[in-house]
Amino acid sequence: MSVVGIDLGTTNSVIATVRDGQVVVVPAAHGGYLHPSVVSFSADGLKYFSREGVARRIVDPKYTVYSGKRLIGLSFRSKEVQKAVARLPYELREGNNEQAVFVGPDRTYTIPEVSGLLLGYLRQCCELFLGDTVTGAVITVPANFNDAQRRATIDAGRIAGLDVLRVLNEPTAAALAYGLGQNMSQRIAVYDFGGGTFDITILQVEGDVFEVLATGGDTFLGGDDMDTALLNILAELFRAEHGIDPRQEQAAHARLLIAAEQVKCHLSEFPEARGELKNIAISSQGEQLALRFHIARNVFETAIRGLVSRTIQTTQEVLASVGLAASQIDDVIMVGGTTRVPLVRAEVERYFGRPPRTDLNPDEVVAWGAAIQAENLAHAGENLANHAVLLDVTPRALGIAVAGGFAERILDRNVPVPVEQTRIFTTSADNQSSVRIQVCQGESRRFDENVPLGELELTGIPPARRGEIAIEVTFRVDTNGILRVRARDAATGAAREAAVNVRGGMSDVEVAEAVERQKSQESPIDDSTLPELAELEGLEELKD
Amino acid sequence: MPRQTPEQLANFAKHMYGKLDQLSYYDLLGVSSGTLSSDIRTAFFRMSDDLHPDRYHTMADRELKERLETIYARICEAYRVLTTPEKRTTYDRLLSEGKKRLTSTDRESRAPQSPEDSIKHEEAKKFFRLGMLCLGRKDFKGAVMNFNFARSFEPQSAIINQKLGEAQAALGKPGGPGAK
């Protein structure tokens, strides 16, 4: 029985484990160590993963789910999901409890179910590789994931048949992988620029204790945005040559996006990229149209400079929130494939005034840390002399709705977890028989401007005049960053405890059903039937 | 420093749990009241190394685990208050008055309030909620109907009349709420 660490990414995922004291990263089908975070569904009930799934983004975009991490744990009505709906080629719809559900060929799937399928696939890859069953996992999440997103990630893990030992913040995992500290006191910045998200976290490391001082980021900023910028450059070149906008057609769009990603990687190593993309679109005469391109790195850099500046601006804000200057940072760790882009490295170096650390593979470093933490947790209580302990903090402030549309803060952001805070409130009307406690996450004074998490109702309050009843409201955040709220009538002792009924989340019953369904339907993975990626021909020239 | 054995942890929990509310933050962290912030941090880190929930993640005894977590949560609270200068100043003043814990109850308390809290009649409240649900779904027709029902039970409620007005406006029907 093994425990694993999983970096469940927006674009790619990585799974690792510890064998004989060494971190081992599980290889992906078709080589490399990155498993694309894609699940493709066919009408006959088959699911396709990895590069097979990626290939189906072109042939079957309607039933190929990617970027699921952008949707997990969010209400269908949230800004983020609505924005995603407008951009994604697959269909999303509102399901039970405001959940966003994917409309598959056979039925609808909740997002934790889709992520659960992906995690199940990763688990199987790992089991094949190790020749051992995988039981427990530490799954990483961006540091600024809210309560609902963390819960949904845990649900996804459960659906995949995994005991989720912990949801761990990605930057903390990266710092753990670097094994920083070692009897030294250091202040570390973890600059994590992934495919879909950007996070910046400031850690204080003393000996083997890691403390998160502050964290911030942007859930809608990543390498994908750079791909889109390059896609637009390619599409404009194509339009200039053929008078057709290839973005209008889904298959051409998907093909260009894949090419854009490869061009980006090429430009990270070489000053220019040239090549030919065949069969992008069909002309009115029925001819296949190709695109010859030649893009210099500085053209690309001009297109992405604004994206990189946003990360530096966020970094500055996060440092300012804890009263630190860039010069007070002892070390900068680079995480995420997007940190390979030379402009990113240059800008980070310029801002901090020191070269960032890039010695561990930025794509794998988070999974490394997760694997180490999984091993630590599985063997807690045994000889742990060399194992670090992570002191994490609440990612956002938590509060409740009070009169006038305001949010009354109960817990600040960036406080060490676990944490418990009790506030005493009173009734606002005579003979008020119940109190509804609406919980939100965020820093705004106005309730509406925060993320609503859910609500809890305390009923059966005995008749009394306004202000005479004392209601204790206790917020408790555990080491996973998961909130529990308890409301108690101090006089009668009547209490309601709830893992707040989260909007946009699956109910316990739904999760239990999904666990059973996946267990009974899981088929062994088959590596022998993987299709050739003929679409990528022509990009070979890039490798020169 | 050697790691605590499960027996030592159990003894510690037994010793601390019952008297948690009698200990000041300084007592909890084992420091004196004049201790510098940086030394408080060192003390907290040392305690975390033993008492962080990750250290007993696999503990089978649920009750002991829960107790240790509660103690550790209080230690985190102590650390947070004593290393935030303005919180520490407030706490030192409260401590001199005999209070061991800085809870927000020492600040002005306000009631959690939902729009329907001011509605007294149960039926009115019920229909008001239904109306709010309709409003949320942008079903303005349903909202107007439910708010009207609510108003029939409690005609003078300001909030019902206000929401009815909003729903009517959204439905495109002119005419205010027309309170009695």
Residues B72-116 pLDDT 10s: 999 999 998 999 898 899 999 999 988 888 875 533 345 555 566
Residue of A nearest to B4 (CA): A381
Main-chain dihedrals φ then ψ at residue A93, nearest 5 degrees? -145, 165
**Would you list the domain boundaries of chain A?**
2-180+362-385, 223-302, 398-492
- The shortest C-alpha distance from A75 to chain B (Å) reads 14
One-letter amino acid for residue A398 of the chain: L
Class of domain A398-492: mainly beta
Identify the pLDDT of residue A226: 95
- Chain centroid to Cα A379, Å, comes to 27
Identify the pLDDT of residue A284: 83
Asked if A403's CB is within 8 angstroms of B111's CB, the reply is: yes
Identify the pLDDT of residue A428: 75
Identify the pLDDT of residue A522: 76
Identify the pLDDT of residue A124: 93
Identify the pLDDT of residue A387: 67
Identify the pLDDT of residue A438: 87
User: Among candidates A23, A17, A69, A61, which has minimal Cα distance to A41?
Assistant: A61
Paired strand residues for A288: A282
How far is residue A441's CA from residue A280's CA, in Å, rounded to a whole number?
45
Q: Say which residues have a Cβ less than 8 Å from residue B98's Cβ, sequence separation at least 6.
A: none
Rounded to an integer, the average pLDDT of A120-132 is 92
CATH superfamily of domain region B6-106: DnaJ domain (1.10.287.110)
Paired strand residues for A186: A205
Q: Is A225 a catalytic residue?
A: no
User: Among candidates A492, A381, A449, A370, which has minimal Cα distance to A119?
Assistant: A370
Q: Residue window 187-226, chain A: list those with CB within 8 Å of chain B.
A: 206-209, 211
One-letter amino acid for residue A261 of the chain: E
Class of domain A2-180+362-385: alpha beta
Rounded to an integer, the average pLDDT of A142-165 is 91
A202: number of Cβ within 10 Å: 24
Residue of B nearest to A475 (CA): B73
Rg (CA), chain A: 24
Rounded to an integer, the average pLDDT of A311-337 is 94
Residue of B nearest to A385 (CA): B3
- The shortest C-alpha distance from A241 to chain B (Å) reads 47
**Would you list the domain boundaries of chain B?**
6-106, 115-171
Contact B56, A381 (CB under 8 A): yes
Q: Is A132 a catalytic residue?
A: no
Distances (CA, A) of A530 to A52, A151, A215, A534: 6, 34, 41, 12
- With cut-offs at 50, 70 and 90, classify the pLDDT of residue A156: very high
User: Among candidates A224, A305, A241, which has minimal Cα distance to A277?
Assistant: A241
Q: Is A363 a catalytic residue?
A: no
Q: Which of A378, A408, A437 sits opposite B110 (nearest CB)?
A: A408
How far is residue B131's CA from residue B128's CA, in Å, rounded to a whole number?
5
Identify the pLDDT of residue A504: 65
- With cut-offs at 50, 70 and 90, classify the pLDDT of residue B67: very high
Identify the pLDDT of residue A195: 83
Q: How many CB pairs below 8 A link A and B? A: 127
- pLDDT tens digits, one per residue of A131-147: 899 999 999 998 778 88
What's the whole-number average pLDDT of chain B? 82
How far is residue A207's CA from residue B75's CA, in Å, rounded to a whole number?
19
Task: Cite the DSSP H helix spans in chain B.
Answer: 6-17, 25-29, 37-51, 62-82, 85-96, 122-136, 140-153, 158-171
State yes or no: pLDDT of B60 exceeds 70. Answer: yes
Q: Residue window 347-376, chain A: list those with CB within 8 Å of chain B.
A: 376
- With cut-offs at 50, 70 and 90, classify the pLDDT of residue B5: confident
Please classify residue A513 by burial: count the beta carbons closer than 10 Å to its beta carbon, then call 0-12 exposed, 13-18 middle and 19+ buried: middle
Residue with the bigger pLDDT between A157 and A444: it is A157
Residue with the bigger pLDDT between A2 and A481: it is A2
The one-character DSSP state at A150 is H
Rounded to an integer, the average pLDDT of B44-62 is 86
- The shortest C-alpha distance from B17 to chain A (Å) reads 15
- pLDDT tens digits, one per residue of A200-242: 999 888 766 777 788 888 878 999 899 999 999 999 999 999 9
Contact A440, A114 (CB under 8 A): no
Identify the pLDDT of residue B123: 84
What's the whole-number average pLDDT of chain A? 86
Reported for B103-107, long-range contacts at CB under 8 A and 24+ positions apart, including other chains, are B103/A421, B103/A422, B103/A423, B104/A410, B104/A421, B104/A422, B104/A423, B105/A422, B105/A423, B105/A424
Q: Say which residues have a Cβ less than 8 Å from residue A476's Cβ, sequence separation at least 6.
A: A418, A419, A420, A421, A483, A484, A485, A486, B73
The one-character DSSP state at A507 is P
Asked if B6's CB is within 8 angstroms of A403's CB, the reply is: no
Q: Which CATH number does A223-302 carry?
A: 3.90.640.10
State yes or no: pLDDT of A36 exceeds 60. Answer: yes
Paired strand residues for A13: A35
Instruction: Collect all residues of chain A within an 8 Å Cβ-Cβ radius of residue B58.
Output: 377-381
Rounded to an integer, the average pLDDT of A325-348 is 95
User: Among candidates B58, B82, B81, which has minimal Cα distance to B68?
Assistant: B58
Identify the pLDDT of residue A147: 85
State yes or no: pLDDT of A381 exceeds 80. Answer: no
Angle formed by the axes of helices A170-178 and A365-378, nearest 10°: 80
- pLDDT tens digits, one per residue of A476-513: 888 887 888 888 887 777 777 655 655 667 877 888 88
- With cut-offs at 50, 70 and 90, classify the pLDDT of residue B117: low
Contact A57, A80 (CB under 8 A): no
Q: Is A540 a catalytic residue?
A: no
Q: Chain B within 8 Å of A482 (Cβ-Cβ)?
A: no
Q: Which of A403, A410, A422 sits opposite B113 (nearest CB)?
A: A403
Asked if A424's CB is within 8 angstroms of B58's CB, the reply is: no
How far is residue A433's CA from residue A457's CA, in Å, rounded to a whole number?
11
Return the structure tokens found at A423. Answer: 């506030």
Catalytic residue among A192, A208, A225, A510: A192
Identify the pLDDT of residue A416: 82
- The shortest C-alpha distance from A361 to chain B (Å) reads 27
Identify the pLDDT of residue B106: 37
Residue for token digits 């949560």? B73
State yes or no: pLDDT of A347 exceeds 80. Answer: yes
State yes or no: pLDDT of B50 exceeds 90. Answer: no
One-letter amino acid for residue A89 of the chain: P
Rounded to an integer, the average pLDDT of A268-277 is 91
ipTM above threshold 0.85? no
